[in-house]
């Protein structure tokens, strides 16, 4: 947990940025933090943005949806995708209070008010991240 940062205690808006998957991972493989966080904090909303959606107005819309609510940004391997790094930094310039969950291999310095690195994107990693965000772990 990041010292001095309060856990998420009310329904959040979760933006999960989707990237292409490899042959080793089926596109239908479940991943993310939104579902587990919504189980802990009912009323939590989730949306997914890919490169096209993020660059075509999806990111400002997502940030608007999160007004007055905690914002959780979920990425996988952000350092490997230029569009994703740019979207993450753009979101954080508008919402420096956002919580960031890195579900792939973390790269670079941690960003966000709280940064959680799971080193994987399996459902159990998503559940663990949700529990860390809410102060249960």
Q: What is the pLDDT of residues 78-93, one digit of tens each?
A: 777 888 889 999 999 9
Q: Identify the band that residue 24 occupies on the pLDDT scale cut at 50, 70 and 90.
A: low
pLDDT of 100-137, one tens digit each? 999 877 877 678 778 898 988 889 999 999 999 999 88
First to last CA, the chain: 9
CB burial readout 111-135, b (16+ within 10 A) else e: bbbbbbbbeebeeebbbbbbbbbbe
- Complete edge-to-edge strand list for the sheet that includes strand 13-17: 45-49, 13-17, 71-75, 99-102, 114-117
Query: What is the domain range of residue 105?
Result: 13-133
- Domain membership of residue 5 (yes or no) is no
- Domain membership of residue 6 (yes or no) is no
- Domain membership of residue 123 (yes or no) is yes
Count of structural domains, the chain: 1
Residues 50-58 have a mean pLDDT of 88
Name the residue with higher pLDDT: 18 or 99. Answer: 99
CATH number at residue 65: 3.40.50
Indicate the pTM of the whole model: 0.90
Q: Identify the band that residue 57 occupies on the pLDDT scale cut at 50, 70 and 90.
A: confident
- Domain membership of residue 80 (yes or no) is yes
- Domain membership of residue 7 (yes or no) is no
- Domain membership of residue 4 (yes or no) is no
Name the residue with higher pLDDT: 4 or 115. Answer: 115
- Domain membership of residue 63 (yes or no) is yes
């Amino acid at each position: 947990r990041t010292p001095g940062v309060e856990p998420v205690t009310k329904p959040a808006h979760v933006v999960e940025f989707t990237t292409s998957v490899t042959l080793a991972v089926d596109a239908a493989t479940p991943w993310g933090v939104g579902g587990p966080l919504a189980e802990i904090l009912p009323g939590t909303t989730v949306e997914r943005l890919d490169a096209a959606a993020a660059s075509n107005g999806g990111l400002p819309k997502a940030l608007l949806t999160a007004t007055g609510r905690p914002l959780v940004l979920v990425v996988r391997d952000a350092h490997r995708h230029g569009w994703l790094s740019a979207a993450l930094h753009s979101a954080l310039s508008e919402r420096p209070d956002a919580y960031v969950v890195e579900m792939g291999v973390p790269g670079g310095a941690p960003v966000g008010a709280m940064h959680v690195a799971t080193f994987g994107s399996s459902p159990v990693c998503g559940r663990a991240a949700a529990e860390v965000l809410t102060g249960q772990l």
